[in-house]
Amino acid sequence: MTVVESTHESILRCTTPGCGTQVRVAPTQQAAPCCPACGAAVPWIVSALVETFDEEITVEVPVLVDFWAMWCTPCQQVTPLVMRAAKEHAGALKVVKVNVDRVPQIADRYVLKSIPTLSLLRGGSEADRLTGSIPPDHFAAWLAPHVGDLRGA
């Protein structure tokens, strides 16, 4: 899953085998994106920008905010879980990645004590939070009430 940013739009890629169509998504988009070529729900993963963060988190589906940093080994262990959740819950979950070194203003706003921290938002407000490296089954159990059970977790 590649996420490329162009000014304030994100370019997502359809993960349907044989498709791979690029889908442009504005921060103001409310509904989960679908592939214009095959119609499949597209994993909605964006990187946070200070200028668009509030728009990105105010959407129709739950938003999983992943607070992380490049140097953080536990963050690197959590990333595959987050990416898999985005793919498995395409159409029902949005993932917003927040690199705390690049956009500390957002991290400060959430008064983080450590990373990785996963924050589940609904309607722009925090509904739940999980901190630290976690096993896949614990992550699935934490996320399930918000978006349904993860297949194969």
How far apart CA 34 and CA 25 sit, in angstroms, is: 10
Lateral strand order in the sheet of 4-6? 4-6, 9-13, 22-25
The active-site residue out of 14, 34, 35, 72 is: 72
The active-site residue out of 14, 19, 38, 75 is: 75
- For 9, other C-beta atoms within 10 Å of its C-beta total 16
Q: Which residue has the tokens 């008064």?
A: 111
| 19 given a catalytic annotation | no
Token pair, residue 121, equals: 């938002």
| 38 given a catalytic annotation | no
Crossing angle for the helix pair 136-147 and 73-88, to the nearest 10 degrees: 40
Token pair, residue 103, equals: 């956009």
Q: Give catalytic residue positions.
A: 72, 75
